[in-house]
Structure 1
Amino acid sequence: MAGYMGESIIVNGVYSPYTEVATRFYRLRILNGSNARVYNLALSNNADMVIIGNDGGLLKTPSSVKEILIAPGERLDVLINFSGNAIGTEILLTSNEFGNGGAAQGKQRFKIMKFKIASIVTDIFTVPAILSNVTAVSASSAVKVRTFEISNAMEHHGVPMNNGMQMRHRINGKLYDSNRIDEAVAANTNEIWVFDNSKGEEPHPMHLHGVFFQVLQRSGGRNNLIASETGWKDTVLVMPSETVSVIVPFENNKGKFVFHCHNLEHEDDGMMLQYQLS
């Protein structure tokens, strides 16, 4: 039901990797390429990580955090400062426990990779106060609000369960049909899309093709936005009991596009719909 979560975490195809670093800032460009697993990234020395970018590029301003939640399909640009550490120091990038992840997510802390301090250098880099010019899209500019209810139900076909039944994952009660247009959207308009997982029991990273959006609001569950959700996104994590609203500027790239849960097992099970921009 939760999707496939393997026993071994790999980074760039390598199990339990390490990399040697100097005492300076490093920029990590991170993609969560796992089937279903949500990570809560942190450093073992409790140092800050500075978020400078996400799915759609640089944020307007940097944000220093101790932990960063990242779901399948989401991307991050993060700065880590290794200065002040002695040669030989080892620092782990871990995934920490987190709440509200459903029955299968966030229960364990585990290692992802290791950084080894190999040399001492002088670093004069400072993080800029302004990174880019991201203009907020006003909610009042939306010409339409669409709500998408995320649900799952026991059936005889779908993702196998321990009880012999199978789980089907749906959006607005529908399974994907490539021959069906589910939503008709007008080009050069802004819309608010609401992903309602208020009755759900699993995390769902919702991904839109063909556009970037801005996250407006989260109610229920965590009940607020997190630093990595500022700026432009194309994937947003909707935890159990949460409802998340995004504003989507649809430009003039007309055609058919899908939107779906980026948990691969949920997507393959049919948690995907199609919109036509015209």
Structure 2
Amino acid sequence: MDFTDVDARGPENLSGSIARFAPVKRKHALIGGHADTLYVRDHEWEAARTFLIFIDRSRSMNYSSGKHPQKSDHALIMGLALADLLVRSGERVGLIGQTTPSASRQIIDHLAEALLQPITRDGDLPQPLPLSKKAHLVLIGDFLIEPETIEKTLAEFDRDHISITLLRILDPVEIDFPFSGETELLSAESALALEIGDASEFATHARAKLKTHDEALHQIAQNHRAFFITHRTDEAMTQNLVTLMTHFAQRRNAGALRAHG
């Protein structure tokens, strides 16, 4: 399989997400983009880096406000696309705790096969594992959990002084809270329901809570020198993929300068 295009139209399930990566003739082209198409430039790296990706598959990721794809769809597509782009750049990629890092051009097939396996651990974050100092951990999810839990996990991984990237995926409703009138909130993780009364009045409180949570995540990322980026499911995925690949290239170049300095 090959990475062809990425846009804001998402499939309905995991199998559909994976099916979007149709086999095509491989191209060698510059990073660039027309509409929702993204290609990656081939780089002559001195040594391959190892990227370990985690994709949150907890129930909160199945949320969609209706006309937008589920967060899980965007997470899966962006995770697989990122893996393909990294391999094309000469890197090794794997799913943390699931697959051995590989530089195979069939990386999407390998990762998709692993993702189709039943979930053995329904967690918002990966189980901390010892990693090499040259490893780069990429966490993809909504991170709608207590900041203290995220801090603890990153601290465990940061003991090995690895590079960390956080790709947060949110539905626009979770950011804007555009409701009004009598509203009931339903939990994505349980059968709990909360009557909040007039949603327009509750919205101020909801936005304030999200702002506080957002500030906490940015502080945690700063504490652990992690790169933090937010993607909305009403946005095309291309720009954030370009941003991530640019960041990884800059880190590679900075490391090369230190090595030769």
| TM-score over 0.5 (shorter chain) | no
Q: In proportion to residue count, which structure has more helix?
A: 2
Q: What is the TM-score normalised by the length of structure 2? A: 0.24
Q: Which protein is bigger by CA-based radius of gyration? A: 1
Q: In proportion to residue count, which structure has more strand?
A: 1
